[in-house]
Amino acid sequence: MSTLAIDLGGTKLAAARVDGQQNIIARRELPTPASKTPDALEASLAELIAPLVAGAQRVAIASTGIIQNGVLNAINPENLGGLARFPLVETVARLARLPCIAVNDAQAAAWAEYRSLREDIEEMVFLTVSTGVGGGIISGGRLLPGAGGLAGHLGHTLADPNGPRCGCGRTGCVEAIASGRGIAAGATGDLAGKDAKSIFSLAARGHAQATALKQRSAQVLARLIADVKATTDCQRVVIGGSVGLSEGYLDAVRTCLQEEPAIYRVPLLAARHQHNAGLLGAALLAQEVIS
């Protein structure tokens, strides 16, 4: 049985054919359209899946946003070019003519990462530092979706009451500072208008403001992890997303976490599945519900 897995993020769309043993057979990416209109997203999804759909038995989507009853509701619409709502399962099932499920991207990635742990652990938290900051909580060996799909949205906890406004409507969220978009939004002077990737490559070459922006993101993430440890008493925190997986970032977070009292520290791991954690988690979850 093969699954067509899709990862819908704020910056990129990825799709892959995943076989019954969780191997990725083929994979492609497209940029996420920065448009408020659902039509643009539908057109990009159609283009993305066209070469991969033949031979698949089901579709599994890991998507940014709160996913409830197959509908994507953005908690931070700014991450999706202003798009606040999208009928995800209905649209993709129609395009692929296959049964389809959808789950939040960080929740899906948490499940794939949890299932790949080689230790006997029941409490784990996954954090993605990407366009936004997302999270997925494993408690008692189970994925916590929450009553309405909001569980794990740790990027919208408070980092700084005097911090920047977040697209979710709050002020000073972790996401508004630590995410790829937050890092870019904090840039001024010669860095204004640059994305997080360019800012981090300048940081690697010793640029002072770029280094400070990277350090601030890592510091905010470390404080979030201490809060997460206090809330869940998790045994591992796994980090993914393109910012989270970038060179030196995890070590910077580890160094900041060392400054917290010992009770709030927890071993940090880079996502074993790297940029495929969402795709593989969605495929695993689909295998459990669509035979």
Map residues 224-263 to x or -, x wherever contact with ligand ADP holds by CB under 6 A.
-----------------xxx--x-----------------
Name, in order, each residue with C-beta under 8 angstroms of 141's C-beta and a sequence gap of 6 or more. Answer: 114, 122
Check residue 12 for interaction with ligand ADP (CB under 6 A): yes
User: Residues binding ligand ADP: what is the number (CB under 6 A)?
Assistant: 17
194 binds, among ligand BMX, Zn ion, ligand ADP, none (CB under 5 to 8 A by kind): none
According to DSSP, residue 166 is labeled P
Check residue 196 for interaction with ligand ADP (CB under 6 A): yes
Helix, coil or strand: residue 175? helix
Name the residue nearer to ligand ADP (CB basis): 32 or 107.
Answer: 32
The residue range among 55-63, 137-145, 191-199, 264-272 that interacts with ligand ADP, by the rule CB under 6 A, is 191-199
Which residues sit opposite 61 in a β-bridge?
6, 102
Largest Cα span, the chain = 55
Q: Which of 173, 183, 191, 228 binds Zn ion (CB under 5 A)?
A: 173
166 binds, among Zn ion, ligand ADP, ligand BMX, none (CB under 5 to 8 A by kind): Zn ion
**Cα(254)–Cα(267) distance, integer angstroms:** 9
Check residue 200 for interaction with ligand ADP (CB under 6 A): yes
Name the residue nearer to ligand ADP (CB basis): 95 or 271.
Answer: 271
Name the residue nearer to ligand BMX (CB basis): 134 or 268.
Answer: 134
**Cα(15)–Cα(6) distance, integer angstroms:** 4
Is 29 within 8 Å of 9 (Cβ atoms)? no
Name the residue nearer to ligand ADP (CB basis): 145 or 182.
Answer: 182
* CB 258 to ligand BMX: min, Å: 26
Residue 19 corresponds to which amino acid? D
Which residues sit opposite 154 in a β-bridge?
none
Q: Please, where are the H alpha helices in the chain?
A: 38-49, 88-96, 105-115, 174-178, 180-185, 196-204, 208-232, 249-257, 277-289
Structure tokens at 290: 């669509």
> Contact positions toward ligand ADP, by CB under 6 A?
9-12, 32, 130-131, 180-181, 195-197, 200, 241-243, 246
> Contact positions toward Zn ion, by CB under 5 A?
156, 166, 168, 170, 173
